[in-house]
Amino acid sequence: MTTTASVLVANFKYWGINHIFGIPGKAISPILFEILTHDLEFVLSKHEAAAGFEASGYALMNQKIGVAVGTSGPGGTNLLTAAGQAKASNLPLLIITGHPSLKDTGKAMGQDSSIFGTDLVDMFKSVTKFSARVERGDMLQPFLQHALEKALSGVKGPVHLSIPFDILLQEIEPFQLEFPVSHEMISPNTCDVIEKLHAAKRPLLFLGKGVHSSKAYEEVQHIAEHWNIPVITTPGGKGTFPSNHKLSLGAFGLGGTVEAAEYFNEQVDLLIIIGSRLSDMSIAGLSEAMYPEHIIHFDYDPTFIGKSIQVPTTPVLGDIKSNLTAILKDIPETNSEAFLSAIEVSPLQDNQPGERMSAVQVLRAMRNTLPDDAIIFGDDGSHSFYGIKYFDIYKPGTFFFDDIFGAMGNGIGYSIGAKLAAPEKTIICLVGDGCMFMHGTELSTAYNYNSPVLFIVLNNGRLDMVEKGMQKMIGTSIGGIYETPLDVAKFAESMGLTATTCHTPYDLTGAIKEALHMIKETNKPIVIEALVLENEIPPTMGRQ
């Protein structure tokens, strides 16, 4: 017999989870003590939402699951945002929250998370795939097993267990849980898809972040090449298809390219949507006159199929990679190298003396300097939409951005967790000053736990996407400009990091090269602040 907390942490160790993210509190202290005993690293985040973001980035990169813990009451409510973000990103995140001792339920308790206080189990239900309270030690095994199955099967996502203090200390029989084995169902519509692809005269592939979730990069490229179909991506689908592929038209929607819009404008007969809900950010600029004659929609979740573009639609439900594999089983291999163009370096243009540099030039300097396999985590804001439009992708799976939930600061946490899960990867966080105001204290987490992310911060002293949007709507903005702008370099230095401020794209190029070298030498994160034009119009003005 051993304690519930010990059995729980032993399972984390068995799953190969080496880092647990969170902030201590009495209600979860038995878990923390066991983390020490089992030789796992507890990563002290600076805010529970950030802990959830970090655990989510960890899950994305280790292809298993991430674990975040928070104490009862406010520790749990702070994790709600991380759960909503993980659900939108389809990432398996296990959130454990504490609870005062179950035997005291109904009494006046500090940070009560029962129905008499802040009912965390109920609050988490709308932002997770499963939320429950473990009210006896022997309930841990079935509840944890069900949570794993929900988190890792079908559309992956977050789950939540609330475990009271006295239940964590109860003695139970030890157990070990395996990850669930996935049995993917193949859609009965795959034969119909092949017929429609053969018959299409002007088809178009539209890739969303579901391609990232299913790791179907090779399959979508094979489909495009065999049937010679041009490819566009949603904002969340950025990074799923190489920019230098001859069939790539770039992004559509916010951050979209002229080439993508022009092709859509010339009457598509068959639109093949792969892994997208078609949010307003994804179809910004798409008028009814541009609607295709027919849609084939690949997705696990049928909820939004046929909702945003109401034309005849063939749904292909289930795992994208499995369904594409079934379609391609008798299709000959293509020579992908023949479809790739030589990489062209965009020349940099210096800014005028006394002027800040353009955000466009920042993204070009990044692309010219970063290795092809560097993985970019775009935080939510104009800076990432500049990336969607101007940062070319040469290796699929190297740019991640959420265009659904959009919690500011998520990219900071994702990048830190990702680097801890995959220290051999070059991890870049593309972030703005607004997101830094939200969760910039996680720079300290990255520094203290040797997560050497390169943070590139575009600073124009405002909540750019919101401020420019209000300017467009009413000619002015309210609350969009910081009266005292953030000095990013000093902020980072106050937490021990090396930081530099760049005024020109040439300064930035040199700073990135030096930072990549220093990261290898020191194993510490570095911050580069890029001062950009305050009044540059971002590629986000097409949203209604």
- Residue 371 within a domain: yes
Containing structural domain, residue 158: 2-172
User: Among 339, 369, 404, where does a domain finish?
Assistant: 339
pTM of the model: 0.96
- Residue 177 within a domain: no
Q: Is 195 exposed, middle or buried (0-12, 13-18, 19+ CB in 10 A)?
A: exposed
Tokens at residue 509, please? Answer: 């190029």
Q: What are 389-416's pLDDT values in tens digits?
A: 999 999 999 999 998 899 999 999 999 9
Q: What is the pLDDT of residue 182?
A: 81
DSSP assignments along 36-78, one per residue: HHTTPEEEE-SSHHHHHHHHHHHHHHHTS-EEEEE-TTHHHHH
Considering the domain architecture, whether residues 206 and 168 belong to the same structural domain is answered as no
User: Among 103, 138, 172, where does a domain finish?
Assistant: 172
Considering the domain architecture, whether residues 393 and 290 belong to the same structural domain is answered as no
Considering the domain architecture, whether residues 168 and 196 belong to the same structural domain is answered as no
Considering the domain architecture, whether residues 273 and 326 belong to the same structural domain is answered as yes
Q: What are 267-313's pLDDT values in tens digits?
A: 999 999 999 999 998 999 999 999 999 999 999 888 999 899 999 99
Residue with tokens 């759960």, as numbered in its chain: 83
How many domains in the chain?
3
- Residue 178 within a domain: no
The beta strand positions in 208-293, using DSSP E, are 231-233, 248-251, 270-274
Considering the domain architecture, whether residues 122 and 226 belong to the same structural domain is answered as no
Considering the domain architecture, whether residues 195 and 127 belong to the same structural domain is answered as no
Considering the domain architecture, whether residues 119 and 202 belong to the same structural domain is answered as no
Considering the domain architecture, whether residues 165 and 200 belong to the same structural domain is answered as no
- Residue 81 within a domain: yes
Considering the domain architecture, whether residues 289 and 322 belong to the same structural domain is answered as yes
Considering the domain architecture, whether residues 92 and 197 belong to the same structural domain is answered as no
- Residue 185 within a domain: no
- Residue 144 within a domain: yes
For residue 81, the domain's CATH number is 3.40.50.970
Considering the domain architecture, whether residues 151 and 106 belong to the same structural domain is answered as yes
**pLDDT string in tens for the chain (544-residue length):** 899 999 999 999 999 999 999 999 999 999 999 999 999 999 999 999 999 999 999 999 999 999 999 999 999 999 999 999 999 999 999 999 998 887 767 666 667 777 777 899 999 999 999 999 999 999 999 999 999 999 999 899 999 999 999 999 999 999 999 999 887 889 999 999 999 999 999 999 999 999 999 999 999 999 999 999 999 999 999 999 999 999 999 999 999 999 999 999 999 999 999 999 999 989 999 999 999 999 999 998 889 998 999 999 999 999 999 999 999 999 999 999 999 999 888 889 899 888 999 999 999 999 999 999 999 999 999 999 999 999 999 999 999 999 889 999 999 999 999 999 999 999 999 999 999 999 999 999 999 999 999 999 999 999 988 888 888 888 888 889 999 999 999 999 999 999 999 999 999 999 999 999 999 999 999 999 999 999 999 888 766 5
CB 82 within 8 Å of CB 52: yes
User: Among 277, 309, 339, where does a domain finish?
Assistant: 339
- Residue 537 within a domain: no
- Residue 469 within a domain: yes
Considering the domain architecture, whether residues 145 and 281 belong to the same structural domain is answered as no
